[in-house]
Structure 1
Amino acid sequence: MVKQWMRIAAVASVMFCGRLAMAADVSGEWVAKVATPGEPQYAHVSLQVQGEKVSGSWGSSKVEGTLAGDKLELALTDEDGKPAGKLSATLNGASFAGSGTMAMRNRFGAAGGFGGGGGGRAAAEATVSWTMDRAATPPAAPRSIKFEPKELYATYSASVTPALHIFAGDVVHTWTADAGGVDAKGIRHRGGDSNIGPFYVEGALPGDTLALHLLKVRTNRATARQGTRINAHAVTAAYLVGAKYDPDFSGEWTLLPEKGIAVPAHPSEHMKNYSVPLKPMLGCISVAPPGDEQYRGGDLGPFGGNLDYNDNVEGTTVYLPVFHAGALLGMGDGHAAMGDGELTGSALETSLDVDFSVEVIKGDSTGQVRAETKDYLIAFGVTGSVPESIQVATSQLATWIKKQYSLNDSEVAILFASTLKYDITELVDAKYNVAAKVPKSILSTMK
């Protein structure tokens, strides 16, 4: 009888320890995917397990629940303390799958995906199916990766297969071609403002912001080419009709990085002493656009694309809203230098060597592209007209500064009226891009 009780106790102990082991294994970082009538929604999920009790976060929502064997039950509460969902799932291998109800808002959820609370329109409860997988484990230390592009792509779309998976902190050493697809060796790849990548950034989810740190942007060949006629968007019809351009005028440039300048390769009489400072920049920086949207390489929008901003140079950080898991970062269209607006339809087009790293800012979507240089905070406005682009850029910059510096609207009005600058970055493509910027030196006095 004693032996029988000992066997029962041993079995019970094994079952109890197994349950604890499973509970302990469930603790950590997860990525939830919720099927909706539209595109799937994602959330960063963090779980802590003590015995059968589960707690943690789902985006910006609070999570409480239970884990009994392989059965997970979760209740979500939003930032306002209101119920945000009830979910159940079963662990199958390394993944959970199940169903439940969630409060669905007509926007991306705050704090890293679907299920965030606060703001937006009133939530409507809906029945959903969902899955949850472990978040990818980053390497013990950031990696240094040499990436040799095998193929360039000229379409901004979530359907493009990632060329490389990277983590925040990894440093990627690579190169880009010019707008026509010509690289440093003179090899022609796909043109049309083609990009390298896309790079799948582990841990980046819709509702996040991807920070791209441009660590190195340098020319890697001695030549560049530029258009020789002003685009129709930049001049009056009368000037356009009356202009008498020389059909044989050369747009070829010689790059002299040791002197930091570019000079016309075949200068006219008046331009024999003409030179411009080298300022290597990336014309195209992008993430995959929302949903099933697809755009050609020369297009631009809230996803970035052919922004043609001449301060997207070495040392700049570009902030891009994430619309798809992994962000799908791309870049290309190297320029040796460019005036505002890309008035001839091209800059000093050349290939570049580029080093970059990324950072994922969870749960804080910019909505549009932003940038930060050593001197300025910058917000872009990409629309169908210059006046509307000014409005979008100004509004976005004001929203950013109000949040980051805790300023009120009156303080922002005084700040902008006394220090704001505008750059017209793109005049010659399907959409216009205006950059609104304020000096960081002024902002530093306001904290």
Structure 2
Amino acid sequence: MSWIASSHMARRGVSGGKANGCHRLSEADQGAFHYVYGPYAAPVMRVAPGDVIEVETLDAFGGAVRTEEDLPSQVLHMPYVNPQNGPIAVEGAQKGDVLCVHLHSILPRGPQPAGTTALIPEFGGLVATPQTPMLNKPIAERVKKMEVTPEGVRFSERITLPYEPFVGTIGVSPEIEAVSSLQPDYWGGNMDLPDVAPGAVLYFPVQREGAHLFIGDCHGRQGDGELCGVAVEMPATVVFQVDLIKSWSIPGVRLETEDFVMSVGSARPMEDAARIAYRDLIRWMVEDYGFEESEAYFLCTQAGRVRVGNMVDPKYTLGASMRKAWLG
């Protein structure tokens, strides 16, 4: 039996984790892509809890960086990056509920080399940025293209890295504000967290009727921190299943896999992101796993783990996790 049967989605969801209808959202069906998360765009699709959706996403550059000669500073129209599919409305979703997204698969699509990474002036973890300005000159701009298949990411003639895909940007609409798709926070957004991978179930706090799910910015792989600010960006076909947990109040994004549960925090400075994530993890352990708060605090101190999603976006993202083996 799959571990999904014991997940929060299966035990508490409206559809009990069971798949129902199927939908497909192609690039052509999407039409205009979105560059903000917000409640003002009309849904491109309506689905029910339990439905499975196949979506064709663009890469973070919207396909504009086609060759290594296409420098981002010349071919991109900032801030129109990180194009998002959606919004997808989920029947019955109301503020105070939780939207569940179970990721089934992520596959590269389009011609090879499908993967793109880049060094972009005033962007990245080891350079001066508009938020941290310096007098030194920006790093030289460069684009690197890579072949990406399920067999691996061909980094160079010498190195082929494992294919470890994930969704970089995914989340629900805030209640009133419209926010750049480059920004992560309690609604999800541009978390760039490698754990948002096939097999994982994500939990988002619904802020408006229908939830309005956005998704895009898939990666072939990424190291912790997304150091230069650009992972192995790729257009992708993503298959996922949605469900709905009624009247479950959570403050931000949570994630579950077969082996661990994770709470996600996004903030600057990075220690605040860690505090947000660990505080919610401790409260989750108290609410759903029977821990007394101080015992959960002790256990996180001795056995908790932190995953750095990004250290380059307007807010940094960290995931604090606990192995299910220790939760009883």
Do Structure 1 and Structure 2 share a fold, with TM-score over 0.5? Answer: yes
Cα deviation 1:116-165 (Å, max 9, x = unaligned)? xxxxxxxxxxxxxxxxxxxxxxxxx8211122222211111100110111
Where does residue 103 of structure 2 map in the other structure?
214
- Which amino acid is the alignment partner of residue 261 of structure 1? G
Cα deviation 1:268-301 (Å, max 9, x = unaligned)? xxxx31221111111110101122x111111111
Do the aligned residues in 2 keep the contact of 1:230 with 1:345 (CA within 8 Å)?
Answer: no
Where does residue 364 of structure 1 map in the other structure?
248
Taking the TM superposition and a 5 Å limit, the aligned residue runs for 1:191-340 are 191-221=80-110, 222=112, 223-228=114-119, 234-235=125-126, 250-257=143-150, 260-264=151-155, 267=156, 272-291=157-176, 293-340=177-224
Which of the two has higher C-alpha Rg? Answer: 1
Question: Comparing both structures, which one devotes a greater share of its residues to strand?
Answer: 1
Where does residue 234 of structure 2 map in the other structure?
350
Do the aligned residues in 1 keep the contact of 2:84 with 2:217 (CA within 8 Å)?
Answer: yes
SS at the partner of 2:193? Answer: coil
Moved more, 215-224 or 151-160: 215-224
Where does residue 167 of structure 1 map in the other structure?
48
SS at the partner of 2:217? Answer: strand
Taking the TM superposition and a 5 Å limit, the aligned residue runs for 1:45-84 are none
| Larger RCO (alpha carbons 8 Å, 6+ apart) | 2
Where does residue 373 of structure 1 map in the other structure?
257
CA distance in 2, matches of 1:281, 1:236: 25
SS at the partner of 1:227? Answer: strand
SS at the partner of 2:274? Answer: helix
Gaps (5+ residues) in structure 1? 1-140
Query: What TM-score comes out, normalization by structure 1 length?
Result: 0.60
CA RMSD of aligned residues (A): 2.6
Aligned pair count reads: 290
Q: % of aligned pairs identical?
A: 27
Gaps (5+ residues) in structure 2? 1-18, 68-74, 129-133
CA distance in 2, matches of 1:245, 1:323: 40
Where does residue 70 of structure 2 map in the other structure?
none
- Which amino acid is the alignment partner of residue 280 of structure 1? P
- Which amino acid is the alignment partner of residue 178 of structure 2? Q
CA distance in 1, matches of 2:159, 2:179: 37
SS at the partner of 1:160? Answer: coil
CA distance in 2, matches of 1:147, 1:236: 38
CA distance in 1, matches of 2:93, 2:45: 14
- Which amino acid is the alignment partner of residue 256 of structure 1? T
1:147 and 2:25 equivalent?
A: yes
CA distance in 2, matches of 1:246, 1:428: 18
Where does residue 57 of structure 2 map in the other structure?
176
